[in-house]
Chain A
Amino acid sequence: MQSLTQEQVIMIVARQFDDPGVTIDADSSMDNVADWDSLVHLGILVSLDVELEGRAAAVKKLAACRSVKEIVSCLAEHQLLTQ
């Protein structure tokens, strides 16, 4: 996949939470989603990398992103987001 949409990013983030009670949207972050811990975060990064065929791993800033907005913005900066 060449790039992702914001909706696809949200879906990828949401997939990491096994609890159906956790809702992820564009405003979700490590600060307002209690279960979004470092392990979940790693899962998000790895899933993004799989979907983007290995190109997410080259984006150094991505690991430091703490929210859906930051991830989306970071991917957009690197032409990995479809507006």
Chain B
Amino acid sequence: MADLRCTIGGIRSPNPFWLASAPPTDKEYNVRRALEAGWGGVVWKTLGEDPPVVNVSSRYGAVSYNGQRMAGLNNIELITDRPLATNLAEIKRVKRDFPDRAMVVSLMVPCVEASWKAILPLVEQTGCDGIELNFGCPHGMSERNMGAAVGQVPDYVEMVTRWCKQNTRMPVIVKLTPNITNILMPARAALAGGADAVSLINTVQSVTGVDLDAMTPLPAVDGQGTHGGYCGPAVKPIALRMLGDIARDPVMRGLPISGMGGVSGWRDAAEFIAMGASGVQVCTAAMHHGFRIVTEMIDGLSHWMDGKGHASLESFRGLANRNYVQWGELNINFKTIAKIDPSLCIGCGKCYIACEDTSHQSIAKLPGRVYEVIDAECVGCNLCAHVCPVDDCITMVPQAATGPKLTWGEHPNNPHRSAAETVS
């Protein structure tokens, strides 16, 4: 049985599945239920200064796609709306009763050192394992110069991280906002400020839809809407990319990453870890299915690791990141060609029309709804395989190499190729 234990910035947990700082971790009742269900840790919903913030109703917008509910979820809820003392007392009780689980406390106070100096000792007294700096919340708090308003300015990220490191012995995780052009800037700033780990991604600024009867952007509050933070399965590709960028960055190398953004099952978790994360955080999946979903995640990851011979998370962590390169490093001489298995084809014609209308006209339609790839025309783009509703009916077959690996940097068509590369 695979060992699922995980350590991030010195914080240990029995498995890599933490609940992210969000509505499910707002209070003792929920968190106890989560830990009893088997979650490896929680990041307690963000604490702020008293008096607490006030939330609105409603708070969520969701995107259904082809009948799949919550393919994406958007929220406009703010940080905890309960008094600081209440939260601190609850955190202390829960940590005492679940000593083996990771208890991380998310924090967001105004961008002045005094505010951070004041809250850190209070949090430390709970016995929690670490703190996570909420530099990502994209709505409400950012308008008050907190959350993403800090996370989008690398200098502030570094400054606040440093204040925290100077004023507490607890490990500091810096949570990054994806609402920025280059994720490496705040990530490197966190590192410079002394962060023990970074976590990403926070939610993506979004409007989930428009009520066409009321003409209200969604989610709606009394006939008006505002942008919120988008999460759930829809944002996973964005998260994987940003996580991959940080994990492969030579400057960031070695800084632990807590990955999140659309982790819905064990496979997502394995992908995040393969891309360089040390553990993952989950929210939408728990909000969609309840806390017991973690048992499926643990079981699935464990079986997959056993099947692959991975004894621990470290045995496969970052393996995919090694193959995550810049476009310019890809081999232009590599070619695949689509192959349609006629025995599996159901004759829907989706591959044909996709290729005919929007790609390279490399699928022939023969009498009797028989579809055949025209090898000479196929560029190996994959579109047909993606639109085909039958598993394994269309496969991409690698072709015999026509020459050694050739990158754009070396390509004759590249006006900027270096002389050295041309020679090689």
A binds B: no
Q: Which residues of B come within 8 Å of A, CB atoms? A: none
